[in-house]
Structure 1
Amino acid sequence: MPIINNVAYSWSMITLSSTALGIDEGSTTLEGVSGIKWNKKRKIESNYGMGGKPISRGFGNITYTASVTMDYATQQMLRSTYGSLMDIGEFDLIVSFANPMASDDWTTTTVTLKGCIFSEDGMESKQDDTDITHEFDLNPFDISIGNDFI
């Protein structure tokens, strides 16, 4: 587990930013986001020869998946600007992890979800919900992982 000055990475250290959505770096405009997921996956298969044992490996395509869970107020804020979420077009979403209690030589880890685009717009709710949220696929074109030294 990554530890910075005896503090583990946690949800409170995550910042989302996207200039295409009108969100500045470090902005809290998307405060209603309660979940973010991303995954990179490469197809790897063993190649077989004599004796039925693997003799090498073959590498296939890399696929990228990501999603964001937003409350209804955040969804409506985006809809009021763009109409439907599906009308937003492609955007990059930068996920930053920073420890505000760290020393002067701390690093910010970033993951950039590139070329995201919403393929749906909807909501769901049921009796006794106290917070209406929905998870939306981001359909990223690429995912870049890097560190920025502050």
Structure 2
Amino acid sequence: MNGIPLINGQEYSWGDIQCIIAGVVLVGIKGIEYSDEQEMEEIYGAGNRPVARGYGRISCTGKITLSEKEARAIQSSALDGRLQSIAPFDIVVSYIPTNGNKILHDKLRNCQFKKNSRAWNEGDISQEVELDLMVSHIEWGK
């Protein structure tokens, strides 16, 4: 052992994650990725070291990977059949551990799909559809 105590002994895993779009639990989800980043800049004054920091815009990105069937089900809700035409929606990513750890919810707000594409190759027996998201902001751990 490395001498570090084992605290509750279990991390969150993929099996603990539940994703909800517009109140519907996604069963065909294969992956989700999201982040936010803030512009930061050192501000200099007297001397050659920074005297303060300036903070600018926060930008968010997201990506969701779905089964072909799940992507088509979501796409069917668009009046013109385009994922990009679906009105902004929230995605709730819930971490629901089976061992009693704290339940956490990350909320991706005002999401829209940026593209819709498919790629098939000879021998494929299933399809994973990776969809880039536009996200206005993320509420972490709510």
Whether the TM-score (by the shorter chain) exceeds 0.5 is yes
Q: Which residue of 2 aligns with 1:69?
A: 65
Instruction: Show CA shifts across 1:79-115 (max 9, x none).
Output: 223222112110000000011232xxx4210000000
The residue type equivalent to 2:90 in the other structure is D
User: Which of 111, 125, 133 is 1:130 aligned to?
Assistant: 125
User: Which of 87, 108, 123 is 1:113 aligned to?
Assistant: 108
Deviation at 1:16, TM superposition (A): 0.8
- Determine helix, strand or coil for the equivalent of 2:141: strand
Q: Which residue of 2 aligns with 1:12?
A: 15
- Determine helix, strand or coil for the equivalent of 1:96: strand
CA distance in 2, matches of 1:57, 1:80: 47
Deviation at 1:146, TM superposition (A): 2.6
Deviation at 1:50, TM superposition (A): 4.0
The residue type equivalent to 1:66 in the other structure is G
Q: Which residue of 1 aligns with 2:135?
A: 140
Q: Which residue of 2 aligns with 1:31?
A: 27
% identical equivalent positions: 30
In the superposition, the TM-score normalised over structure 2's length comes to 0.84
Q: Which runs of 5+ in 2 are unaligned?
A: 1-5
* Number of residue-to-residue matches in the alignment: 135
- Determine helix, strand or coil for the equivalent of 1:74: helix
Q: Which runs of 5+ in 1 are unaligned?
A: none
CA distance in 2, matches of 1:41, 1:80: 33
Deviation at 1:72, TM superposition (A): 0.9
Q: In the superposition, relative to structure 1, how do residues 59 and 12 fare at CA in structure 2: closer, same or farther (>3 Å)?
A: same
Q: In the superposition, relative to structure 1, how do residues 119 and 131 fare at CA in structure 2: closer, same or farther (>3 Å)?
A: same
The residue type equivalent to 1:59 in the other structure is Y
In the superposition, the TM-score normalised over structure 1's length comes to 0.80
The residue type equivalent to 1:48 in the other structure is Y
Q: Which residue of 2 aligns with 1:99?
A: 97
- Determine helix, strand or coil for the equivalent of 1:8: coil
- Determine helix, strand or coil for the equivalent of 1:68: strand
* 2:58 is the alignment partner of 1:55: no
